[in-house]
Structure 1
Amino acid sequence: MFRLADASVHFGRPASAVRALTAVTLTIHPGERVALIGANGCGKSTLLRLLHGLAAPTAGQVERAPALQQAMLFQRPHLLRMTVQRNIALGLWLRGTPWGAAKVLALEALTRVGLSALAGRNARKLSGGQQQRVALARAWALNPQVLLLDEPTASLDPHAKREVEALIEEFSNQPQSAAVEKAGDGSMSSAMTLVFASHNLGQVKRLASRVIYLEQGRVLADLPVKDFFSGSLLQSQYPAAHLFLKGESV
């Protein structure tokens, strides 16, 4: 689905460039749930942007599966100054869905996240948790094969975090939206691929099947989630990741 070969991203002039990512080589397969962890500034967000095409590699290669459908959620959702329903319908309309059908599909997506009663509200007037659920509904309505998330619950209260995390898990388990099936666009059902950045190690354990640890723009550990949280393996083979995990767990 994604293949990176010695991919680097540098910002600024060559002499004083900030090295956000350096020589990252990895492959992400369909259906994986990949968690990106590491300290602030380690390159998690840049890696997500690189995968989504919002950042271009300074060096190396980034390959994506042909005709890949993907959506990205940011820590603070980008919602337009219009109703909740229109925020979702607009994405569908831009993809080619007629406006009337897009509004119907948008309402179905809102029902899926439990917000159909707020369809006519100004999206920017909602709470943080509600806005993130709207953003998830907007992504789900597009039936993405890949969902990229940058700290999707970091700024939410505990109750909202649980709600959003439950929706993420539900969507990744059941990727084919009923709305898209009704639209009959020929999309094939397959397991959704999830790539997310998180500082919440409990969330990583619950959602991820694979963990990638980054430090100063480099991948220093890439392991199945069970192996990553196995103290003896991490301590012996990936000391930097072990020290990070130990510090984050205190």
Structure 2
Amino acid sequence: MFAIEPLAAIAGLETRYLSRKVAGRVLVQDVSVQVSAGEILAIVGPSGAGKSSFLRLLNRLDEPTSGTVLLKSQDFRSISPQELRRRIGMVMQTAYLFPGTIAANVAFGPFQRGQMLAPVQVERLLERVGLPGLADRDVSNLSGGEAQRVALARTLANEPEVLLLDEPTSALDDASVRGIEELILGIVRERRMTCLIVTHNRAQAARLAERTMVMQAGRLVAIGPTGEILHVG
């Protein structure tokens, strides 16, 4: 397999020969890809292919050893890590919430920047992720699906331009999976966000993403329309 990629007219996010090596081990090797605003790109491949490693490079949770990332044509090294992670938000496989209320978790990012979210702003975010009226609930009393919705609301509170999702539904039951998928689709469309999702579930990739990239041994080996790449449809 090999990469065939038409260039996007205006890339919300672009990587150029992005690579990371640790102690001589190649985690990501020369990955170049463009993702447009309003697009969801699925990232699939076998375990150890470098999918999560690639995602972590995009907002500098890990540092590349070569190559770079462009956020709306701006080299990400010219953006402070804090600002970069606000603009490129990430939701992990497990929702790591802070002890306390849902409202405190949702308001955390803006608070770190000296901004206070009004209760009505928190409520609007919770309504958007399907948790209306739950601002004062303690996060210790949430189901897995509810916790992921809070994690998504917390990320959206930062008004990111790019949304990174690392296996966000792999620990959830089927009903919660479909609910989160619908939420992701709706938010990306509404906000015209650039979205990249790592998933082991090819059916999920088909439901969410117009394009899919396949990684093997740290390399991008194929990219294109999801139905063609994964032979689904």
| Counterpart position of 1:193 | 194
The corresponding residue for 1:5 is 16
Shift of 1:7: 1.6
**How far did residue 22 of structure 1 move?**
1.1
Partner of 2:104: 86
Cα distance in structure 1, aligned partners of 2:125 and 2:224? 34
Match of 2:7 in 1: none
Q: Of the candidates 159, 184, 196, which is equivalent to residue 168 of structure 1?
A: 184
Counterpart contact for 1:106–1:138, Cα < 8 Å = no
Work out whether 1:70 is the aligned partner of 2:88: yes
Bigger proportion of residues as helix? 1
Aligned amino acid, residue 14 of structure 2: R
- Matches of 1:18 and 1:124, distance apart in 2: 39
Give distance in 2, aligned partners of 1:116 and 1:85. 11
Residue 45 of structure 2 aligns with which residue?
38
Match of 2:64 in 1: 57
> What is the alpha-carbon root mean square deviation over aligned residues?
1.8
Structure 2: runs of 5 or more not aligned: 1-11
Which one has the largest radius of gyration? 1
| 2:148 is aligned with 1:132 | yes
Please give the TM-score of this superposition, normalised by the length of structure 1: 0.78
d(CA) in 2 for partners of 1:125, 1:80:
13
Task: Give the residue type in structure 2 aligned to 1:105.
Answer: Q
* SS of residue paired to 1:118: coil
Contact 1:36 1:213 in 2 (8 A): yes
Kept in 1, the 8 Å contact 2:52–2:166? The answer is yes
CA contact (8 A) 2:210 2:225 kept: yes
Q: Distance between the aligned counterparts of 2:37 and 2:153, measured in 1?
A: 21
How far is the alpha carbon of 1:96 from its aligned partner? 3.8
Secondary structure of residue in 2 paired with 1:124: helix
Offset of residue 91 of structure 1: 1.5
Post-superposition shift, 1:215? 0.4
- Inter-partner Cα distance in structure 1 for 2:15 and 2:128: 34
Paired with 2:51 and 2:140, the residues of 1 have a C-alpha distance of 27
Q: Which has the higher contact order (CA 8 A, sep 6+)?
A: 2
Tell me the SS of whatever aligns to 2:181.
helix
Shift, 1:18, TM fit:
2.4
User: Which runs of structure 2 are paired with 1:173-188 in the superposition (5 Å)?
Assistant: 173-175=189-191
1:213 aligns with 2:208: no
- Percent of paired sites with the same residue: 38
Mapped to 2, the partners of 1:112 and 1:29 lie a distance apart of: 23
